[in-house]
Amino acid sequence: MRIAVDAMGGDYAPGEIVRGVVDLTSRADFDDHIILVGDQPRIETALIELGGKIGDKVSIRHTTEVIEMDDHPASAVRKKRDSSLVVCGDMVRDGEADGTISAGSTGAAMAVAAMRIGRIPGIERPAIASQMPTLKGRCLMLDMGANVDCTPQNLLQFALMGSVYAEHVIGVPEPTVGLLSVGTEDTKGNELTKATFELLKNSPLRFKGNIEGKDVFEHTTDIVVCDGFAGNVLLKTAESISEMLLGLLTTEIDALGDGILEKVQPVILNLVRRIDYAEQGGAPLLGVNGVSVIAHGRSKARAIGNGIRLTISAAKSGYVNAIKKELPTIAGERRGV
């Protein structure tokens, strides 16, 4: 696989982006190819500071512009044609890369996906899909912020795309779908969720009905569908609560006395691995006619490395073509649940 990495996107670019690439490609079991896209002198300086050299697993694609976090997404994509983010998208569109990942502006990454890579024919709006930690592992939730206003048809397509991705990339056989609402009863919800419920009920997807916020973390279903407003609020709240609880846990254990923290450190580290966003490294933008992964803006080297691994797995899975194949089925008969 050839993965185009936006070396200039994110709070710690290009240093931590380059570090993540160097750490990943130095592993003996890594045999794919990374293309660092961005300002070549700054990338090379970062490499020198790391004391590393790029081998045959890494190459650099020089660009002269950068899309900043405060740039208007669509306007920046149109005007900054030689920015690292736009060039990454063009490489996927033109077949020069099998996937791309960026920790830069989410809005700009979405604009690049829509304006440069393009949507899958028949998909009205792409959606950000994120793996949420649960008591049983992780569930896939979408949309996480790409579309704050949605139609029932949008949410039906999100459910289909999430199901295909879960099966092909995560390895979940026959994934189940839940619709995020304010109650589990069929009649609960606003006009959007009520109309979406009917579409999902009569679709070929394995729809289990409405679920509440608590059900997300109990892993009631493998896929959770909602509009981007609710999804983004839930995601940011969950991240904040996770960080707060880890901080409180560490403080309380440390207060028990010397040596206690060291004894339980393996337990804490295992907990961190289960809930830390850096373990996943990114979230795919489903519905794009190519593999596009969005990483957290504050991603450091470990998150970038894991995000690249996710991008590679997604590219190898062929989920984009699988979505194209399955898209007509949401007008068919309902599959048994």
3-state SS, one letter per residue, for 119-153:
ECCCCCCCEEEEEEEECCEEEEEECCCCCCCCCHH
Overall pTM > 0.75: yes
How far apart (Å, rounded) are the C-alpha atoms in residues 80 and 65? 6
CB atoms closer than 10 angstroms to residue 28: 5
Residue 331: what pLDDT? Answer: 61
Residue 38: what pLDDT? Answer: 97
Contact 295, 304 (CB under 8 A): yes
- Tell which residue, 35, 39, 38, has the closest CA to residue 97: 35
How far apart (Å, rounded) are the C-alpha atoms in residues 311 and 299? 15
Contact 316, 42 (CB under 8 A): no
CB atoms closer than 10 angstroms to residue 30: 16
Residue 276: what pLDDT? Answer: 74
Residue 209: what pLDDT? Answer: 96
How far apart (Å, rounded) are the C-alpha atoms in residues 76 and 68? 9
Residue 52: what pLDDT? Answer: 67
Crossing angle between the packed helical segments 301-317 and 319-326, to the nearest 10 degrees: 50
Per-residue confidence in pLDDT tens, the chain, 337 aa: 999 999 999 999 999 999 999 999 999 899 999 999 999 999 999 998 888 677 789 999 999 999 999 999 999 999 999 999 999 999 999 999 999 999 999 999 999 999 999 999 999 999 999 999 998 989 999 999 999 999 999 999 999 999 999 999 999 999 999 999 999 999 899 999 999 999 999 999 999 999 999 999 999 999 999 999 999 999 999 888 888 888 888 888 878 877 787 788 787 778 777 777 778 889 999 999 999 999 999 999 999 999 999 999 999 999 999 999 999 988 644 344 4
- Tell which residue, 104, 82, 19, has the closest CA to residue 293: 104
Residue 274: what pLDDT? Answer: 77
- Tell which residue, 271, 274, 293, has the closest CA to residue 282: 293
Task: Copy the structure tokens of residue 4.
Answer: 């185009």
